[in-house]
């Protein structure tokens, strides 16, 4: 079982990975995020119809991508450097158990490219390619 807070510096309310299901550093990570009614951003997005903002699905993929790094990220400066070909196919709602899949495409000079997909019970919600820079 991966110790998430030991690896990622993110904390409530911005830690968006609950469990790591599969992990092969440098290759592939599958993680999970359970969307609860208590998520602070759902209060205002939207008042009548809570759904997870698309940008946060990208953030979930980026955080899951942090587990592609073999070493814990505490003390490391790691930034989102680019987002390509993001597609949002269906919204994520409170109660959804989101599956976050990231596959490393390659890395050069501290910059990593990864392909990510968010799904819920086999339904694809979001796909995107992310670039992450580590200093």
Partner 1 sequence: MTDLKLRVKEMIIERLKLEGMAPDQIEDQAPLFGEGLGLDSIDALELVLGIEQVFGVKIEDEAAGMKAFKSVQALTDFIAEHRKA
Catalytic residues: 45
Structure token pair of residue 53: 């903002």
Residue closer to partner 1 (CB basis): 35 or 130: 130
Residue closer to partner 1 (CB basis): 73 or 81: 81
Structure token pair of residue 31: 């993680």
Please pick, from the candidates 106, 121, 122, 135, the single residue that binds partner 1 as defined by CB under 8 A. Answer: 106
Structure token pair of residue 87: 């597609």
Beta strands in 12-120 (DSSP E): 19-24, 28-34, 78-88, 97-108, 111-120
Please pick, from the candidates 81, 83, 86, 120, the single residue that binds partner 1 as defined by CB under 8 A. Answer: 81
Which range of residues in 5-13, 36-44, 89-97, 109-117 is near partner 1 by CB under 8 A? 109-117
Please pick, from the candidates 109, 121, 122, 135, the single residue that binds partner 1 as defined by CB under 8 A. Answer: 109
Alpha carbon 125 to its chain's center:
13
Contact, 17 vs 31, CB < 8 A?
A: yes
Residues that bind partner 1 (CB under 8 A): 81-82, 105-109, 111-113, 131, 133
């Amino acid at each position: 079982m991966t110790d998430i807070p030991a690896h990622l510096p993110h904390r409530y309310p911005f830690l968006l990975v609950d469990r790591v299901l599969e992990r092969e550093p440098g290759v592939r990570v599958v993680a999970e995020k359970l969307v609860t009614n208590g998520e602070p951003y759902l209060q205002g997005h939207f008042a009548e119809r809570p759904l997870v903002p698309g940008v946060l699905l990208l953030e979930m993929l980026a955080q899951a991508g942090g587990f592609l790094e073999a070493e814990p990220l505490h003390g490391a400066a790691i930034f989102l450097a680019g987002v390509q070909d993001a597609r949002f196919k269906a919204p994520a709602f409170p109660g959804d158990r989101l599956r976050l899949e990231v596959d490393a495409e390659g890395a050069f000079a501290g910059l990593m490219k990864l392909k990510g997909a968010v799904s819920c019970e086999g339904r694809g919600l979001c796909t995107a390619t992310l670039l992450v820079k580590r200093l």
